[in-house]
Amino acid sequence: MSWRLSVAPMMGFTDRHFRFLLRQISQGVRLYTEMIPDQALLHGDPQRFLDFHPQEHPLALQVGGSQPESLARAARLAKAWGYDELNLNLGCPSPRVQQAGFGACLMRDPLRVAECLGAMWEASRLPVTVKHRLGADELESYGYLASFVERLAQAGVGVFIIHARKAWLQGLSPKENRTLPPLRYAWVYQLKRDFPELLFVLNGGIKDLSEAEGHLRWVDGVMIGRAVCRDPFLLAEANSLVFGLAREVDRVEVVFKMAAYAEEQLQRGVPLKAIARHLLNLFHAQPGGKLWRRRLSELPTHAGPEALLEALEVIGAQASRGPGEGVKRSTSAETRLKEHGEERSEGFSSSSAGSA
Ligand SMILES: Cc1cc2nc3c(=O)[nH]c(=O)nc-3n(C[C@H](O)[C@H](O)[C@H](O)COP(=O)(O)O)c2cc1C
């Protein structure tokens, strides 16, 4: 199983529709859900939180919590639903999460974290990983970080995803906590030297795949967040650069696949807008990209999947007038949509696993 390249868990972004889109762009990239607090999972509607499309694999569920018993119950659900990995959030600094006693404030309590991770593994036998910071508040030294990693490794954790800045738990908003504390990539490189048998995935501030490639000389994997939201198609290069796959993708092809997916989803009551919002930046920095964005943001409430193909035709017409790439391939839109509909696989996993 590879952690070489992954897309970061991001609340409000990495829902199942965004993940499906990312999978159409890159076959190898590892995907994470948004963070789901264990209490929401156990007392809410698990199907709503856990369902995913079979094409999303490899896929990790990220949970938040600090009670071994409830995390173990969440882990059992993850296993039953067919997730490939279970990740514990130790990096979220939001006041609500702190109040509930999990996220980044758990960086103070490696013993409790080790207990939680042990319980999650016992309950699921899934690979259990952590996503954490370099430290929190005054706990800001390489020595503390290394002892934290060592303690968790003793509990059986083998994969550490590290947002390479500490968290300020007082006085900074979650957004500021993603920019203000300085990034210290060198600390993560050092961890790899000190614990060569463990896997380290570096996260924070990586803007594109050439930066990612640079880090991959020192660590086992990289995780990219905001840059993928700004430009999801940046992952297309990963197929050859990171995974050595010959497969090429193009944006038009991706839109057709998303239109077929949207057709399936609409039948389940998902509004097109819930899917189209993730496609807004698909033509980032491309001819017609702004027009595409505008068309998609102004979709009428009851728009169907053909609206995506119409938007494609509109920018195809525009692009063919300008110098850049031509996207005039969408001529027989309806036929292509049908073809992709026939190709798609069996739908959501909930029916087989929902009884858990
Ligand atoms: C909108 C947003 C939501 C986020 N939600 C989560 C989350 O649910 N779980 C988590 O571990 N990190 C979350 N993060 C942090 C990212 O996973 C990542 O660590 C951070 O953005 C730094 O990586 P980047 O510079 O590549 O974006 C979120 C970040 C953003 C921008």
Distance (angstroms) between ligand 1 centre and the Cα of 9 equals 6
Give Cβ neighbours of residue 143 (< 8 Å, ≥ 6 apart). Answer: none
The response to whether residue 356 sits with its C-beta less than 6 Å from ligand 1 reads no
Residue 162 domain flag = yes
Residue 180 domain flag = yes
Distance (angstroms) between ligand 1 centre and the Cα of 120 equals 22
Q: How far apart are CA 319 and CA 350, in angstroms?
A: 41
| Nearest by Cα to 147 from 107, 117, 91 | 107
Residue 300 domain boundaries:
251-343
The response to whether residue 205 sits with its C-beta less than 6 Å from ligand 1 reads yes
Q: Are residues 55 and 187 in the same domain?
A: yes
What residue's CA is closest to ligand 1, atom 26?
225
Q: Which residues of 130-148 are buried (b: 16+ CB within 10 A; e: fewer)?
A: bbbbbbbbebbeeebbeeb
Task: Extract the residue ranges of the chain whose pLDDT is less than 50.
Answer: 317-333, 341-356
Q: Are residues 262 and 236 in the same domain?
A: no
Q: Are residues 151 and 97 in the same domain?
A: yes
Joined together, the tokens standing for residue 332 give: 């027989």
Q: How far apart are CA 226 and CA 239, in angstroms?
A: 19
End residue of a domain, out of 241, 259, 281: 241
Q: Are residues 236 and 261 in the same domain?
A: no
Q: How far apart are CA 130 and CA 128, in angstroms?
A: 7
Q: Are residues 218 and 338 in the same domain?
A: no
Q: Are residues 14 and 77 in the same domain?
A: yes
Q: Is 229 a catalytic residue?
A: no
The response to whether residue 133 sits with its C-beta less than 6 Å from ligand 1 reads no
Joined together, the tokens standing for residue 132 give: 């954490």
End residue of a domain, out of 241, 266, 293: 241
Q: Are residues 224 and 275 in the same domain?
A: no
Q: How far apart are CA 16 and CA 258, in angstroms?
A: 12
What residue's CA is closest to ligand 1, atom 21?
225
31-37/59-64 β-pairing: parallel
The response to whether residue 132 sits with its C-beta less than 6 Å from ligand 1 reads no
Which is the closest atom of ligand 1 to the Cα of 34?
Answer: 8
pLDDT for 283: 97
pLDDT for 337: 52
End residue of a domain, out of 190, 220, 241: 241
Q: How far apart are CA 131 and CA 169, in angstroms?
A: 16
- Is the whole model's pTM more than 0.75, yes or no? yes
Residues constituting the chain? 356
CATH number at residue 169: 3.20.20.70
Residue 55 domain flag = yes
pLDDT for 331: 41
Cis peptide before 300 (omega within 30 of 0): no
Residue 34 domain flag = yes
pLDDT for 245: 84
The response to whether residue 34 sits with its C-beta less than 6 Å from ligand 1 reads yes
Q: How far apart are CA 140 and CA 331, in angstroms?
A: 58
Q: Could you tell which of 5, 7, 11, 222 is best to mutate to test the pocket of ligand 1, judged by most ligand atoms within 8 Å of the CB?
A: 11
Q: Are residues 236 and 260 in the same domain?
A: no
Q: Are residues 16 and 90 in the same domain?
A: yes
Q: How far apart are CA 283 and CA 181, in angstroms?
A: 32
Residue 314 domain flag = yes
Q: Are residues 67 and 93 in the same domain?
A: yes
The response to whether residue 206 sits with its C-beta less than 6 Å from ligand 1 reads yes
Residue 198 domain flag = yes
Sign of the CA dihedral with 234 first, then 235, 239, and 242 last: positive
Question: In a 3-state reduction of DSSP, which class is residue 105?
Answer: helix
Q: How far apart are CA 99 and CA 300, in angstroms?
A: 40
Give Cβ neighbours of residue 167 (< 8 Å, ≥ 6 apart). Answer: 91, 93, 104, 107, 133, 135, 136, 137, 177, 181
Question: In a 3-state reduction of DSSP, which class is residue 234?
Answer: helix
Q: How far apart are CA 261 and CA 305, in angstroms?
A: 9
Range list of H helices, 132-245: 142-154, 185-194, 209-215, 226-230, 238-241
Could you read off the pLDDT of 70-112 as tens digits, one per residue? 999 999 999 999 999 999 999 999 999 999 999 999 999 999 9
Distance (angstroms) between ligand 1 centre and the Cα of 68 equals 24
The response to whether residue 251 sits with its C-beta less than 6 Å from ligand 1 reads no
Q: How many domains does one find in the chain?
A: 2
What angle separates helix 333-343 from helix 306-321, to the nearest 10 degrees? 130
Q: How far apart are CA 152 and CA 278, in angstroms?
A: 36
Give the chain's end-to-end CA distance (angstroms, integer).
25
Place of tokens 């961890």: 191
Q: Which residues of 153-177 are buried (b: 16+ CB within 10 A; e: fewer)?
A: eebebebbbbbbbbbbbeeeebeeb
Distance (angstroms) between ligand 1 centre and the Cα of 311 equals 30
pLDDT for 311: 96
Residue 246 domain flag = no
11 touches 39 (CB < 8 A): no
| Nearest by Cα to 261 from 343, 143, 178 | 343
Q: Are residues 229 and 278 in the same domain?
A: no
